[in-house]
A = this chain, B = another copy of it.
Amino acid sequence: MMNPNSSNPIGVFDSGVGGLTVVRALMERLPFENIVYFGDTARVPYGVKSVETIAHYTTQIAEFLLAKEVKLLVVACNTMAAVASQVVKDLSPVPVLDVIDAGALGAIATTAKKQVGVIGTPTTINSNAYARAIHQYEPEVRIFSQACPLLVPLVEEGWLDHPVTRLTAQEYLKPVLAQDIDTLVLGCTHYPLLKPLLQDVVGPGVRLVDSAEAMAEETAALLTEMNLSNPQRTAPHYDFFVTDVPLRFQTIGERFLGRTLSNVHVVKW
């Protein structure tokens, strides 16, 4: 492991715009850190692709960000973290954090009953990665997981508080809520935008773990521990690389980021 320069940016990547919820949490938690974001908008969504394809794309993106001299890699995409996190760790000379590990730590800190629900894309859920990550720290926790393939398109449609979204969430969460959980991990970067609706559906007895916020906490801890916090106290620089500028990109991106999206560069692969 090389010793990166502490003023270098944090590299964050995702299959599309979803990882911007992680960037937003990082901006709020670490206001002096420079960030380079990569969103593979031409090939999104990863949640329905095979493991081999996801590993291949993930490698390509990690190498792109390493060439930008990032001091830390953040795998913001749950699907990539679920099936290709080790691939990134094997090739990276700088530390690698992933949202699943962050979400697992958040779940353990939250659950009292040791009964945790996890929702995500089909690939994330089928990989069983959250269960493995949680059990690695706390083997006693019982985990109930549910794939929710329609929640990503509902968020991208902007139906954040719509009867269709409510009905869909109720249908997906019915089996999980039948299990007496006290914690629900939002295992997809799109889901933080549905927090008010999901909190309503699960009721006051269940606490939501937002993996974007959990990731910002873990990143802050790692930077302090490794003495890698940016010493400069000036306005940071943010760069966004995408493989395509799809329809409604600006609107959706800004909804995720919670502010104006500028410095967007298109990479053609």
Interface residues of A (CB under 8 A from B): 42-44, 48-50, 53, 122-123, 126, 149-150, 152-154, 156-157, 159, 163-164, 167-168, 171, 244-248
Additional A-B contact list (12), CB under 8 Å, known A150-B159, A164-B167: A42-B49, A42-B53, A43-B43, A50-B244, A50-B246, A53-B244, A149-B157, A150-B154, A150-B157, A164-B164, A164-B168, A167-B167
B residues in contact with A126, CB < 8 Å: 247
B residues in contact with A154, CB < 8 Å: 150
- In the assembled complex, the CB of A150 is this many whole angstroms from the nearest CB of chain B, namely 5
Give CA–CA (A223, B157) in the complex, Å: 41
Give CA–CA (A149, B157) in the complex, Å: 7
Given the known inter-chain contacts A244-B50, A244-B53, A247-B48, please indicate yes or no for A153 contacting B149, CB distance below 8 A: yes
B residues in contact with A156, CB < 8 Å: 48, 149
Residue of B nearest to A48 (CB): B246
- In the assembled complex, the CB of A75 is this many whole angstroms from the nearest CB of chain B, namely 20
Check A123–B247 contact: CB distance below 8 A: yes
Residue of B nearest to A167 (CB): B164
Residue of B nearest to A170 (CB): B164
Residue of B nearest to A252 (CB): B48
Give CA–CA (A154, B151) in the complex, Å: 11
Give CA–CA (A247, B126) in the complex, Å: 9
Residue of B nearest to A16 (CB): B48
B residues in contact with A244, CB < 8 Å: 49-50, 53
B residues in contact with A50, CB < 8 Å: 244-247
Of B43, B153, B159, B246, the residue contacting A42 (CB under 8 A) is B43
Give CA–CA (A28, B248) in the complex, Å: 39
Give CA–CA (A126, B248) in the complex, Å: 11
Residue of B nearest to A159 (CB): B150
Check A164–B153 contact: CB distance below 8 A: no
B residues in contact with A48, CB < 8 Å: 44, 156, 246-248
B residues in contact with A44, CB < 8 Å: 48
22 inter-chain pairs at a CB distance below 8 angstroms, sorted by A residue, are: A42-B43, A44-B48, A48-B156, A48-B246, A48-B248, A49-B244, A50-B244, A53-B244, A122-B248, A123-B247, A149-B156, A149-B157, A150-B153, A150-B157, A150-B159, A150-B164, A153-B153, A163-B167, A164-B164, A164-B167, A164-B171, A167-B167
B residues in contact with A247, CB < 8 Å: 48, 50, 122-123, 126
B residues in contact with A248, CB < 8 Å: 48, 122
Residue of B nearest to A148 (CB): B157
